[in-house]
């Protein structure tokens, strides 16, 4: 196993560490401002309508205007909330999303004011596990926001987010295991260095697919934005928030999108390495050029987030949970076993991995069809009947259930004429199987 060279970290003077930390913070804030504007513009073009085009030239100041508007709005605290937790929840959502970016490598060693320093704040032998641990803390902000609001619908949104993060963090962590096997390290800079020749997206395509799906579910974005399902949860866990507290939740969402996109770039797209054929240019992976390649890759993933929101409808919650537990986790476990066998036998090239990935895809597709076939061929008469009004309000049938047939007989008597006007009498309705008439 090759251990990463972490000797270049921890040698910076205190002022350079402060500058790098401030640069990361400013980079994330600017990315959020640009991403909000870009998303509204992209959604407008995809839906054949105009995006923001009033505030500033071509609407470029719309995000800044929205931020100022939120800051100037009155901050309302509803009666009955748990005030300390209510105020702490937005901070708990933002801080982990920002601190997770501390171990993301954005470039090689460069010279800053005469000091040789890597374009990375710090690194750890278990940096990827640090990112998993920190980002999992962010869900506490969502849960506590829903619980402390003292309202039913924010609580439901918080509980949904808990189940969602737990489900998809398992699949996300399993997708990392194959990367650790190939790189031989959990250090982010070591993983990037291991992809100097071949990116892991080509060697570990199923892991990449599982991670991309899990990162969309992890960030509560469409089509997995169930904690904020406006149609049924009245805005979700942040229903009772306004002003800067609401803005902090929006900031946390977009910073999380940037963080998981940067992690996907680091683990699967070679990090700050230049893509082919730009990598053939001398000096493409030296100096400040790699920072441009890194930002371009991150924005590619951010565009995918926006594309999914404009394209796919929101999933049902049972479909969403079944996707995580019944598909992503089993596929990840089987793929880890395949990767371990290939790595042990020395078949670590692109061709063996692609063949194994195709065979795994065929097996998954076949098993899904086999699991769906009995339900499709089940006769209607064999389905179990249920009462849709048993709980006091109508509910739709689940797979394998059917609503019993109801025959309605309407007896309409001719309307008599009294004083020159038609008089409408009561209509008698009888239902088969019911004592009402």
Q: Encoding tokens for residue 34?
A: 């640009």
Query: With 90 as the cut, is the pLDDT of residue 367 above it?
Result: no
For helices 243-268 and 83-99, the axis angle rounded to 10 degrees is 30
pLDDT digits (tens, 9 = 90+) for 107-160: 898 988 888 899 999 999 999 999 988 988 888 888 899 899 888 888 888 888
Q: Encoding tokens for residue 106?
A: 């954005």
411 confidence band (pLDDT: 50, 70, 90) = low
Query: With 50 as the cut, is the pLDDT of residue 88 above it?
Result: yes
Distances (CA, A) of 2 to 7, 75, 180: 14, 53, 11
Q: How far apart are CA 19 and CA 30, in angstroms?
A: 16
**Among 310, 261, 301, which Cα is nearest to 40's?**
310
- Is residue 205 within 8 A of residue 364, CB to CB? The reply is no
**Average pLDDT over every residue of 410-427:** 58
pTM of the model: 0.82
Cβ partners under 8 Å of residue 327, min gap 6: 364, 368
pLDDT digits (tens, 9 = 90+) for 301-312: 999 999 999 898
Query: With 50 as the cut, is the pLDDT of residue 332 above it?
Result: yes
Average pLDDT, the chain: 83
414 confidence band (pLDDT: 50, 70, 90) = low
Please list, residue by residue across 199-228, b when 16 or more beta carbons sit within 10 angstroms of its beta carbon and e when fewer do: bbbebbbbbbbbbbbbbbbbbbbbbbbbbb
**Among 175, 185, 267, 133, which Cα is nearest to 2's?**
185
262 confidence band (pLDDT: 50, 70, 90) = very high
Q: How far apart are CA 122 and CA 21, in angstroms?
A: 10
Strands 401-402 and 421-422: unpaired
Ranges of each domain in the chain: 14-277+284-371
- Lookup result for tokens 């409808």: 313
What secondary structure does DSSP assign to 304-364, as a single string? HHHHHHHHPPPPPHHHHHHIIIIIIHHHHHHHHHHHHHHHHHT--SHHHHHHHHHHHHHHH
15 confidence band (pLDDT: 50, 70, 90) = very high
Q: How far apart are CA 432 and CA 437, in angstroms?
A: 10
Higher pLDDT, 146 or 429: 146
Cβ partners under 8 Å of residue 429, min gap 6: 408, 409, 410, 411, 436, 437
């Amino acid at each position: 196993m090759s251990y990463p060279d972490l000797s270049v970290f921890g040698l910076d003077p205190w002022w350079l560490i402060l500058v790098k930390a401030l640069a990361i913070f400013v980079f994330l804030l600017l990315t959020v401002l640009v991403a909000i504007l870009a998303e509204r513009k992209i959604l407008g073009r995809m839906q054949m309508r105009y995006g923001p085009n009033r505030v500033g030239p071509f609407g470029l100041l719309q995000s800044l205007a929205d931020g100022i508007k939120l800051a100037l709005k009155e901050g309302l605290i509803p009666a009955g909330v748990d005030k300390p937790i209510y105020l702490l929840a937005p901070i708990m959502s933002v801080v982990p999303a920002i601190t997770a970016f501390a171990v993301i490598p954005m470039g090689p060693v460069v010279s800053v004011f005469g000091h040789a320093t890597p374009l990375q704040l710090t690194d750890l032998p278990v940096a990827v596990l640090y990112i998993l641990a920190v980002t999992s803390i962010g869900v506490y902000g969502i849960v506590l926001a829903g619980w402390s609001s003292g309202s039913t619908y924010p609580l439901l949104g918080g509980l949904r987010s808990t189940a969602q993060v737990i489900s998809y963090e398992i699949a996300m962590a399993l997708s990392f295991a194959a990367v650790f096997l190939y790189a031989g390290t959990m250090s982010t800079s070591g993983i990037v260095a291991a992809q100097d020749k071949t990116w892991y997206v080509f060697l570990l395509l199923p892991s990449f697919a599982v991670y991309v799906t899990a990162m969309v579910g992890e960030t509560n974005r469409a089509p997995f934005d169930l904690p904020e399902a406006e149609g049924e949860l009245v805005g979700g866990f942040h229903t009772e928030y306004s002003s800067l507290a609401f803005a902090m939740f929006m900031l946390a969402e977009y910073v999380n999108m940037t963080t998981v996109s940067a992690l996907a770039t680091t683990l699967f797209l070679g990090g700050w390495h230049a893509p082919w054929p730009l990598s053939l240019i001398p000096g493409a992976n030296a100096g400040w050029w790699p920072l441009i390649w890194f930002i371009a890759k991150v924005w590619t993933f951010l565009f995918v987030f926006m594309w999914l929101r404009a394209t796919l409808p929101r999933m049902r919650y049972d479909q969403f949970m079944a996707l995580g537990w019944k598909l992503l986790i089993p596929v990840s476990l089987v793929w880890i076993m395949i990767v371990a066998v290939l790595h042990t036998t020395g078949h670590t090239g692109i061709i063996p991995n692609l063949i194994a990935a195709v065979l795994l895809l065929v097996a998954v597709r076949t098993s899904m069809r086999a699991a769906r076939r009995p339900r499709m061929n089940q006769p209607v008469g064999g389905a179990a009947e249920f009462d849709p009004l048993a709980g006091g309000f109508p509910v739709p049938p689940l797979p394998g259930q059917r609503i019993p047939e109801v025959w309605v007989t309407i007896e309409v008597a001719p309307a008599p004429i009294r004083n020159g006007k038609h008089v409408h009498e009561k209509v008698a309705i009888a239902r088969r199987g019911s004592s009402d008439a």
